[in-house]
Amino acid sequence: MTGAVAGPALAGFLTGLSLILAIGAQNAFVLRQGLIGRHVFWLCLLCAMSDAVLIALGVAGFGAVAALYPALPRIMALAGAAFLLVYGALRLRAAWQGGGAQMVAEGGRGLKGTLLVGLALTWLNPHVYLDTLALIGAVSTGFAEGAPRLAFGAGAVVSSFVFFFSLGFGARLLSPIMSRPGAWRIIDAGIGLVMWALAAGLLRGALAG
C-alpha cells in the first residue's frame, strides 16, 4: 500500500516543483521580501496555502471551470496585466531612486500590505490557474481515484510549501551581496522588468484570444 501512494506522491511533488520553479511575479516578490527579512513566514504561508487550495480544486476535477466560463481567462489576464504594469513601474522607480535600500532601512511595508500584494500576485495571475487547476488537475487523472490520486495532490502541495519557504528564508543567504552599494537597484530593476514582461505576455494572450 505504501508503494501504491509513494509513487504518485513523488510524481505530484516533482510535477508541482517543475511548474513552480519558473521565475514569475509571485516568486520575485517572495524573494524580495526574503531579502529584506519582512513578514517572510506569513507571505510564504499565504502563497503555499493558496497553491494548496487551487491544487485541491484541480485534483478534485474543477479544471473545467474555464470551459464553463469562456470569458474568465481574458478577464483574469487583463486584471493581472494591469496590476503587474503598476507594480513593475513602482519597482523600476525604486531602482532609479534607490528606493530598495531605503525600504530595508525603514522596514518595508506592513504585514497587511505585504499579504495584499501577495494575494494579488497569486490570484490575479492566470498562469497559476493553468498550472494548478488545468495542468496538475489533468495529470492527476492518470492516477486511480482514491489514495493514489490524493497522494499525487498531496505531493504537489508539499512541493509548493518546500519551494516558497526555501525561497523566502533561503534569500537571507544573499544578504552579504545585498549589502553592496547598488545591489538593490539591480534587484528592483530586474523585478520590474520581469513584471512588465509577464504583463506583456498576458496582454498578448488576452488580445489574441
pLDDT digit string (tens) for 68-83? 767 766 776 777 678 7
Q: Which of 22, 28, 32, 54 is nearest to 193 (CA)?
A: 28
Residue 71: CB partners within 8 Å, gap ≥ 6?
A: none
Pairwise CA distance, residues 116 & 113, whole Å: 5
Residue 41 has pLDDT above 90, yes or no: yes
Q: Indicate the average pLDDT of the chain.
A: 79
Angstrom distances, CA of residue 94 to CA of 34, 61, 139, 182, 192: 17, 42, 41, 12, 9
The residue ranges of DSSP E strands in 9-137, in sequence order, are none
Instruction: With beta carbons less than 8 A apart as the criterion, state whether 192 and 47 touch.
Output: no
Give the model confidence (pLDDT) of 18-34 as tens digits.
767 665 778 888 988 88
What is each CA distance from 167 to 6, 56, 160, in whole angstroms?
A: 25, 23, 11
Q: Which regions of the chain does DSSP assign to beta strands (E)?
A: none
- What is the per-residue pLDDT across 160-170, written as a single tens digit (0 to 9) for each? 999 999 989 98
SS3 66: helix
pLDDT band for position 106 (50/70/90)? Answer: very low
Angle (deg, nearest 10), helices 111-123 and 25-36:
160
How many beta carbons lie within 10 A of that of residue 74, not counting itself?
15
Percent of the chain scored above 70 by pLDDT?
A: 79
Q: In which band, very low, low, confident or very high, does the pLDDT at 6 lie, cut at 50, 70 and 90? A: confident
Contact 59, 135 (CB under 8 A): no
The answer, as to whether pTM is greater than 0.85, is no
